[in-house]
Structure 1
Amino acid sequence: MSGEEGNKSELEWPMDRVRQTFIDYFAKKYDHTVWPSSPCVPHDDPTLLFANAGMNQYKPLFLGTCDPNVPMSGLKRAVNSQKCIRAGGKHNDLDDVGKDVYHHTFFEMLGNWSFGDYFKKEAIEMAWKCLTEEFGIDPERLYASYFAGDESSPCDEESRAIWLQFLPENRVLPFGKEDNFWEMGATGPCGPCIEIHYDRIGNRDASKLVNADLPDVIEIWNNVFIQFNREADGSIRPLPARHIDTGMGFERLVSILQGVSSNYDTDIFQPLFVAIQQATGCSESYSGKIGTEDGPLFRDMAYRVIADHIRTLCFAIADGAVPSNDGRGYVLRRVLRRAVRYGRQNLNAKQLGFFSTLVPTVVELYKNSFPELGEKQEMVTAIIAEEEASFSRTLDKGLLKFSDMADKVPKGQPFSGADAHFLYSSMGFPVDLTELMAEERGLALDRKGFEDKMQHEKDLSIKAHEEKLKAGSDGKDMRLVAEQTAYLVNSLHLENTDDSFKYQWDVPLNDCKVKALFIGRGETPDGMGFLDTVSTESGTVGIILDKTAFYAEAGGQIYDTGVIQSENASMTVNAVLAYGQFVLHLGALTHGSFQVGDSLSCQVDYQRRNPIASNHTMTHVLNFALKHVLEDSHANATIDQKGSSVDSSRLRFDFSFPKPLS
């Protein structure tokens, strides 16, 4: 930007205006459909913890698998601002947040898309005019990079030629696959991309600083040209339909237009810093310092972490995620506990529950663009408050315990992995939080020691489970592990067990074919444990049938028992377990023998199943009743089922609720 443009006030380009200007530019000038952001918690893509890019929801269009009956199938051009979270999984910025002035776990991705419509020339021209004309950014500060080509993919000469219409040759730069080639996976859609970079300082040749990971020369916009398909042999072939996928960091663009050198100095974060100071009672306001300049208390780092993390939690919880002990829920728990620790220890927050008081500020900041935050505000606040209170009960003790442990670390030695495991298991400290605190004390963490301790605990749990299984199976290992299931599929060519008959009652299921007979891992010369014939002398055996009426243990409900028999043999079924697509019936023959290929009859003990089914039904009734009583009396507070256990004599229903029950 020019000197005059560099002094733009926040009032001239507030965050809401920046976002709306981008969307209107593509919608009104280039006939793009304004498509809503998908939730940042994917409900239909098991490969993702969180939505981490604008293109996630458009995968079916890129892959050609979109249902023709859904509205998205008709899209040709689209524009939006996508809610994204990068914390956990392949894309993880959690550990870097706070240490610099540009990393975030939550961010918005501005994007425009073409699905088999316009391509490189139009996309580059649209991007150039958007930045230089619509936003008035100084073209002298812009640089473009393109794919230089390699042994498997050609140089993107087309993009280079287009860019030379807008920029001089010394600002159109070639880079390799890591920076300028996009692939969806090892095989599938792929293509070169161009990146637009911005020099915050200006009046210089910054070409050598592009992609140097410096805060003064930053990438602001990526345009991916999806034009090839990567084959299994590594070669590429042209796609029948070519697509455009672009993404521009909203927070970075706002910082440029507001004339500041840090995303955290914009009106996206400044109101949050004010709210954080009020909530914690910290004597010093945010000043933007990093590293050693931030002093021994790292106050500004704490401000950045808390401001970033409260946004992440608000959006994730509003979109359906809940802090828990696994998956994305555990990522959120880690995020929350990091923020609370910074507030209590670095900003000396006195108020119990300071973190949840920041929710209204986030809602106010985003009310115009993401109204779902306001609609879920009470629920979001309640869940954060409950998590914060739970962690606060052990936080102070944990901090004292950590300090005591750290003081005893010999000079030159890392913080003990075993001690980190104790803080994790007894105090609820995620290991990355302990690692961060150790780093602040100048200590490394023995990560391997921590992982070894975790594995040891896991091994003990597995061993206990194995001993439990062996106790009822003559001491034999009757589990079907990956080696056995692979053998069933690849060597015996077995198909899935059809267990749909478990929903039938009070009638035997006849003509069930024996597909495999199992006597235990390591019980045969090849170690697999499969035989063609079993008898009363075989002890505990496992039978896999082509179909079954028995219910396998699942979802907290215990398995069926009963009898499997033929005209000349019978087996008492003591347990039924599911291993992937196979149902294994465990028991001992009372007389006769079974052979692979025999036709058997399944006779479930329905008298035993009756109370189990009743108790299973009661868990649903209890869930409904709890929702009716508790949710109706507490607006925006929801019951979250954590688990259940059902057998013939009892039931257990585990749930969480962010409000007192009485």
Structure 2
Amino acid sequence: MKTKEIREKFLNFFKNKDHLVLPSYSLIPQDDPTLLLIGAGMAPLKPYFTGEKKPPHPRVTTCQKCVRTPDIERVGKTARHATFFEMLGNFSFGDYFKEEAIQWAWELVTEVYHLPEKKLYVSVYQEDDEAYDIWHKIMGLPESKIFRLGKEDNFWEIGQGPCGPCSEIYYDLGFEFGCGRPDCQVGCDCDRFVEIWNLVFTQFNCDSGGSYLPLSQKNIDTGAGLERMAMALQNVPTFYEIDIIKPILDYFVRLTGVRYGENSREDISLRILTEHLRSLTFMVVDGIQPSNEGRGYVLRRMIRRAVRHGRLLGLEDLFLFEAVPMICEVMGDVYQELKEREDYIVKVVQLEEERFRETLEQGLTMLSTYLIDLQRDGEKELPGDVAFKLYDTFGFPLDLTREILEEKGLGVDEKGFKVQLELQRERARSAREKMDAGEAKANLEPFKDQRVEFIGFDTLETKSRIAAIYNGDVIVDKAEEGQEVTLILDKTPFYAESGGQVGDQGTITTESALVEIQDTKLGTYDLFLHRARVIRGEIYTGEKVKALVDSNKRGLICRNHTVTHLLHRALKEVLGEHVNQAGSLVAPQRLRFDFTHFASLSQDEVKKIEEIVNKHIWKNLKVDTQETTLQAARESGAMALFEGKYEDKVRMVSIDNYSLELCGGTHVKHTGDIGLFKILSESGIGTGLRRIEALSGPGAYHYLSEKEEILTRGSVALKTKEENFLPRLETLIQSYNEMVKENQNLRSKLASQKVDELLDKAVQVKGVPVLAAQVNVTEMEQLRSMADQLKDKMGSGVVVLGSVKGEKVLLVAAVTADLVKKGLHAGKIVGEAAKQTGGGGGGRPDMAQAGGKEKDKLPSALKQAAVMVEKLMV
């Protein structure tokens, strides 16, 4: 059975059991700081398990792409460890529980997939008698087929959030794949018994303190590894040999010329290349960029680990990026974004591969030197500061250094490395976390069932009721004049900050009170939080109020938001389809748009993008919004942030036939309402990331008006017409440059004449001609030139020149070669002279310069030259 069929049969089976089929979420977790990457099918669904959000259906099934890295160092060494995998899962949110989950899992495995029961075993949590009895008494499995395991194996949790006991289904590959021990059984760490499905009975919520609190509803969360299921159904001993992975392994076998299965060390490298290529491809397509922090560092580790193992197999040139199309071809029928973004993925991997190649050889050379020293001194551990230098300077992730050392039977001081890493983070760390008063989950818990009706797409004014007032973190009954509070309304026209669009401002009024709404945020449980200041009067919980959005600011925001959609499309037209939104800010005064691209934009590209956007503004295209299903939106070709998380019902914004995007923000009705668009700047903000800052509507007009005023004032100053401003300015600049050049020539001639006059001022000190004089030049370069000329004309001697520039003292000393051999040193001479003027300096024995702050002391400083020559000629 092919992998595609296994995936389809699973989803269709549960669809027929009244489950809603949802597409895979991004690998980037949304609104979940406890996770770095999505590592399980249930991870994106946590808000449904906790009751924080209402699920689109009480039963859901997915095939979720996942990345886990705790076992990254075992990848390639075993038959079952992987960083990237697809997790088939069925989920119940307070609907069915253990009995149905177990019955359906067994039905699918034995009656749909037709796996032989004699090869199947199950495990349960050691304290879960209920699950044991279901398997034994209801499903009829003999006790010899059921194993009780401890918390490490059969209790599922992933950070904070929903968790509970679990029951696993295992497939027996056969005695020949085991460890050979007579007591080998389910739970053994060898490759014989492969876990193919994990049924999690989510009953608890793990809080930040590590306590397990019963959930208000019992849930089901299951995960069946697609690749492991394929191993069983395709009767292969490792997942490297299933139909969607073996072509990749074969590709690297052909590329390296290495025969698979003949050398254990080479096999490990081939498997690492195969496995990591899948992971890094899916991470990049979801918008992750290589970096030294967070999930970007995970990606960087994989790319660099793969590059190093390619090198071990003889691949000295760049090779990894060229393998990306293989993944896109194999997996593109299921994950269409792979084919759509293939060029982008290739470029990201190529750039990172090139970066690492630049420092790889240097890093390996440095590490080899340290290895020789360690082995010579009988040491067994690389110092932590050295490991950190390899990481910080040469881009070696710690696990890569550790792996290289392990191959030599050595270790690394990881504690020392972490100390150095933390010191660096402390130096670079900025306060990135902020917590809004009254927004903590515990504070909003009393209102988790409060449903706020948002009507701000259709109207900017409504009558509403105050559902809650927060003074800081405390719920209060009223707020008085001068107080700053957070309000929850039962109905609101205020848009809450989301998707880059800032929150609305405006007012709330009663017959006796006026409240200024300063900002609107979206809190936990989808509650709209209105940051407010009571201007006059008092307001009370339960009181009816009139809510009014500031229509001027909303209009400016709408213009800026719609124009970001036009900009997104224009960027793709000019730069290529690899361009995708990576972030934005839509405020009344300005807009910011971050996007994926690999080089700075030329002036011509910026101009072309700006022209395309304005052209579509002036066409006055209609802007339509409609609600539809996520699947329908994708089928229609709507653009979406691939790291975004969408509900099944989505809002689609279309601008005629030009732009189609999923977006929950507010927009103008026609593009002509925008008026004008102007790009202010384009810059880089990270690897493969660019940023455009721009203005639209009144903001763009006022900006251009200010520029026109500057042009007008400049033309008046130059006594010319505006259309002649640039030619006139260029003529003046040319004239100025010619005058500067002529002035420099005259100064040089004067300096040459001065040189001849100065030669007569030389005095003899112990038989050495010493010339120390103050000259009238203002630049150090002129001073050095004069000193050189004097030294050449003297043939043998010491020259010390000083001058005054503003309030500063400039000093230069020069010594001929014959006197340098006798011990004279220009740096020491000029340094001692500079001390007399409250300064310092130094340099080479033959030429040195210095500076000072006390210009009145220059004559005494110059006298010091003769004193120093006398001392040095002893």
TM-score range, shorter chain: 0.5 to 0.7
Asked if the contact 1:144–1:197 (Cα under 8 Å) also holds between the matched residues in 2, the reply is: yes
CA shift digits 1:238-269 (9 cap, x unpaired): x5532211001111111111111111122222
Does the CA-based 8 Å contact 2:568-2:580 persist in structure 1? no
> 2 CA distance for matches of 1:58 and 1:453?
37
**Is residue 240 of structure 2 the alignment partner of residue 264 of structure 1?**
yes
SS at match of 1:194: strand
Structure 1 contact 220–248 (Cα < 8 Å) conserved = yes
CA distance 1:223–1:411, change in 2 (3 Å): same
How far residue 341 of structure 1 moved from its aligned partner, in angstroms, is 1.3
1:301 equivalenced with 2:249 (yes/no)? no
SS at match of 1:226: strand
Q: Which amino acid aligns with 2:23?
A: P
Q: Partner residue of 1:494?
A: none
What residue is the counterpart of 1:428 in the other structure? 395
Cα distance between partner residues in 2 of 1:349 and 1:77: 49
Q: Secondary structure at the match of 2:359?
A: helix
Q: Distance in 2 between matches of 1:119 and 1:311?
A: 34
| 8 Å Cα contact 2:11/2:21 also seen in 1 | yes
Shift in alpha-carbon separation, 1:20–1:623, aligned structure 2, 3 A: closer
**Are 1:420 and 1:434, in contact at CA under 8 Å, matched by a contact in 2?**
yes
How far does residue 655 in structure 1 lie from its aligned partner after superposition? Answer: 3.2
- Could you tell me the percent identity over the aligned residues? 37
Q: Is the 8 A contact 1:199 1:206 kept in 2?
A: no
Tell me, what secondary structure is at the counterpart of 1:209? coil
> 1:386 aligned to 2:351?
yes
Supply the AA of the counterpart residue of 1:61: Y
Query: 1:637 touches 1:657 (CA, 8 Å); kept in 2?
Result: no
| Structure 1 position 106 matched with structure 2 position 95 | no
- CA RMSD after TM alignment: 4.0
**Could you say if the C-alpha distance between residues 631 and 333 of structure 1 is closer, same or farther in structure 2, counting changes exceeding 3 Å?**
farther
Q: In 2, distance between residues paired with 1:654 and 1:38?
A: 28
Note the C-alpha offset of 1:658: 5.1
Confirm or deny that 1:95 pairs with 2:79.
Answer: no
Shift of 1:659: 11
Report the secondary structure of 1:408's partner residue.
helix
2:118 aligned residue: 140
1:234 is displaced (CA, Å) by 5.7
Shift of 1:229: 5.8
Deviation per residue, 1:391-442 (Å, 9 max, x gap): 1111122222222222221334212322222211221111211111111122
Note closer, same or farther for the CA distance 1:98–1:376 as it changes in structure 2 (3 Å cut). same
Equivalent in 632, 635, 648 of residue 577 of structure 2: 635
Say whether the 8 Å CA contact 1:171–1:207 is kept in structure 2. no
Other structure's SS at 2:62 match: strand
Q: Please state how far the C-alpha of 1:626 moved relative to its aligned partner.
A: 11
For 2:249 and 2:689, the matched residues in 1 are separated by: 28
2:332 counterpart (364, 367, 376) = 367
SS in 1 for 2:96: coil
Contact 1:640-1:655 at 8 Å conserved across structures? no
Q: 1:77 to 1:634 in 2, by over 3 A?
A: same
> In the comparison of the two structures, how many residue pairs are matched?
472
Q: For structure 1, list consecutive stretches of 5 or more residues without a partner in the other structure.
A: 1-12, 150-154, 466-478, 483-544, 548-620, 645-649
Distance in 2 of aligned mates of 1:181 and 1:455: 33
1:191 equivalenced with 2:179 (yes/no): no
Higher relative contact order (CA 8 A, sep 6+): 1
Amino acid corresponding to residue 44 of structure 1 in structure 2: D
| 1:564-643 alignment, distance < 5 Å | 632-637=574-579
Are 2:217 and 1:241 equivalent residues in the alignment?
yes
Q: 2:360 aligns with which of 384, 395, 399?
A: 395
Q: Which amino acid aligns with 1:212?
A: C
Asked if 1 retains the 8 angstrom alpha-carbon contact of 2:571 and 2:579, the reply is no
1:215 is aligned to 2:186? no
1:59 to 39, 42, 46: 46
Q: Report what 2:5 is aligned to.
A: 17
| 2:170–2:193 contact (8 Å) kept in structure 1 | yes
Residue of structure 1 in register with 2:23 after alignment: 36
Structure 2's unaligned 5+ residue stretches are 435-482, 486-562, 586-591, 593-679, 691-874
Asked whether 1:408 is paired with 2:373, we answer yes
Match for residue 439 of structure 1 among 389, 406, 415? 406
Q: Which of 312, 316, 324 matches 1:346?
A: 312
Contact preservation (8 Å) 2:253, 2:259: yes
The 2-side partners of 1:109 and 1:378 are apart by 27
**CA contact 1:639–1:656 (8 Å) conserved in 2:** no
Please tell me whether the aligned partners of residues 273 and 285 of structure 1 are also in contact (alpha carbons under 8 angstroms): no
1:419 aligns with 2:386: yes
1:201 and 2:177 correspond:
no
Distance change in 2, residues 1:285/1:227 (3 Å): same
| Residues 1:641 and 1:224: Cα distance change in structure 2 (over 3 Å) | closer
* 8 Å CA contact 1:382, 1:658 repeated in 2: no
Q: Is the 8 A contact 1:78 1:114 kept in 2?
A: yes
Moved over 3 A (4+): 161-164, 182-186, 188-191, 202-208, 227-237, 452-462, 621-631, 637-644, 650-660
Cα distance, 1:632–1:110 mapped onto 2, change above 3 Å: same
Give me the whole-angstrom Cα distance separating, in 2, the residues matched to 1:179 and 1:78: 25
Flag the structure with larger Rg.
Answer: 2
* Residues 228/16 of structure 1: CA separation in 2 closer, same or farther (3 Å cut): same
Distance verdict in 2 for CA 1:365–1:163, change over 3 Å: farther
Q: 1:119 aligns with which of 90, 97, 110?
A: 97
Contact 1:192/1:225 (8 A) holds in 2: yes
Deviation of 1:461 after TM superposition, in Å, equals 7.0
Equivalent of 2:67 in 67, 79, 85? 85
> What's the offset of the Cα at 1:176?
2.6
Cα pair 1:639 1:657 within 8 Å, conserved: no
Counterpart AA for 1:439: E
Following TM superposition, by how much is the alpha carbon of 1:639 offset from its aligned partner in structure 2, in angstroms?
8.1
State how far apart, in whole Å, the 1-side matches of 2:277 and 2:24 are.
20
Q: Which AA in structure 2 matches 1:445?
A: V
Q: Does 2:258 correspond to 1:284?
A: yes
- Do the aligned partners of residues 341 and 642 (structure 1) sit closer, same or farther apart at CA in structure 2, a change above 3 Å counting? farther
Inter-CA distance 634–98: structure 2 relative to 1 (3 Å threshold): same
Q: Does 1:45 align with 2:32?
A: yes
